[in-house]
Amino acid sequence: MTVKYLSLEYNKVNERGTFSPGDTVSGKVIVVTNKETKVQCFVVRAKGKAEVTWSEQEGQNTVVHNDKKRYFYFKHIILQDKNKGDGSEIIRSGRNLFPFTFEIPNTDMPSSFKGKWGKIIYTLRAKLTLSIWLVHKTKIEFPFLTKAEFPFASKSEMIIIGLQEQQSATRISFLGSGKVTFSVTSETMGVKQGEAMAVSVEILNDSTRTVTPKFYLSETQTFVADSKRVVHTNDVLFGSGDCVPAESRQTVTRVLSIPPQTPPTFFNCSMMRLEYRIKVSLDVPQAEIKLPMVVMLGSPKPHQQKPKRSIWFRKLPS
C-alpha cells in the first residue's frame, strides 16, 4: 500500500469553533505515501444536509419512513488524471499537504443536531482514487450554527410570547383521601445554555398522605417524513423537593441549571424540531404540570473538536 495516511483538517473562524452561513471553510488534506504515487482523482467535498428515518409496524409489514434535504454541496478537485502526461496527477513520496476552501451559502440553515431518528450534519469528505479497485476515503464533521436570532419564532411573535415573563399553571388532583392542589411558577420562559432559572411549586395538600414534588427538564423531538410524524420524548430529572405532609400547605423552590451542552430550541428545519418544557409532578396519579421553556444559544465557549477520523494503511504480510 503506497498511501499510509489520509486525514482532513479545517481552520477555526471564531472562539466557539463553529461556522455559520456566509463563512469560509478552509483547511488541508494530509496525505502520507511511502513512494511517488499516481492518482486518478483526488477531491474534497463539502455538504450540509438533514435527514430523518424511522420504521414502524403496519399490520404484517414493516414500513420505513425517511426524507432528506440538502442545504449545499460543493466539490473541489485537487488532482485529476486528464491524460495530459504533465505529472500534475502525481503525489510525491512523504507527507503532502493540499489546501482547500469552500464558502458556505449565506442562507438560513438549521444548526447541527443529532436526535433519535434524525440529524442535521455538515461534513467535509476527501476521496483519493488510485485505481478502480483502490480508493481511500476520510471525512470530518464541522459544527454549524444558524444565523437566525430566534430559530423558533419571529421577532414579532417573541414580543407576544414574552420570553422574560413569568408563567404559571394550576392543577387539582383528587385522591380517595382528599385532594391536592398545586401551582407551578417559573420566573421566565426563555433561558440560555448554561444559565439557571427558579421554579416554584405551591402545594395545598388536603389529603391524608404525604406528597413530594419532582422537577424535570422534558425534551420533545419531532420528526416528519412521508406525511407521517413521530415524536420522541425524554425527561431528565433535576431533583426532588421537600416532602409536604398531609393537611398542610407549602411552597418549594428549586433553581434549575440548564447544562451548557443542551441543544437550543429550533423550528427552522422542515423535517424536525426540538422543544423543551419544565415538568413538575407529585407522587400521586395524574398530578403533573408542564410549562413551555425555550432554550436559547448561550455565551460562546470553545468547541472541543472531535478527533479526526484518519486512515492509516498497513501492508499485509505476504
- Is 41 inside a domain boundary? yes
- Whether residue 307 lies inside any domain: the answer is no
**Which pLDDT score, from 0 to 100, does residue 300 have?**
63
pLDDT of residue 88: 65
- 248 & 288 share domain: yes
Q: Do 241 and 139 lie in a common domain?
A: no
CA distance linking residue 140 with residue 10, whole number of Å? 9
Domain CATH for 116: 2.60.40.640
Predicted pLDDT of residue 8:
95
Residue 180: pLDDT band by 50, 70, 90 thresholds?
A: very high
pLDDT band, residue 314 (cuts 50/70/90)? very low
Supply the range of the domain harboring residue 226: 155-296
The last residue of a domain, from among 124, 147, 170 = 147
**Is pLDDT of 308 > 90?**
no
pLDDT at 155: 58
Q: What beta strand segments (E) does the chain contain?
A: 3-10, 24-33, 37-38, 41-58, 61-80, 90-91, 94-103, 113-114, 118-131, 134-141, 167-175, 178-186, 190-192, 196-205, 213-225, 228-240, 248-257, 272-282, 288-296, 311-312
State residue 311's pLDDT score. 45
Q: How many domains, the chain?
A: 2
Last residue of a domain, one of 90, 124, 147: 147
In a domain, 316, yes or no: no
Q: Which residues are registered as beta bridge partners of 273? A: 222
Question: Which DSSP symbol is given to 39?
Answer: -
% of the chain beyond a pLDDT of 70: 89
What is the band of 238 on the pLDDT scale with cuts at 50, 70, 90? confident
| Comparison of pLDDT for 317 and 176, the residue scoring more | 176
The band of 206, judged by pLDDT with boundaries at 50, 70 and 90, is: very high
Query: Which neighbouring-strand residues pair with 94?
Result: 33
- Whether residues 169 and 138 share a domain: the answer is no
Find the distance separating the first CA and the last CA of the chain, reported in whole Å.
12
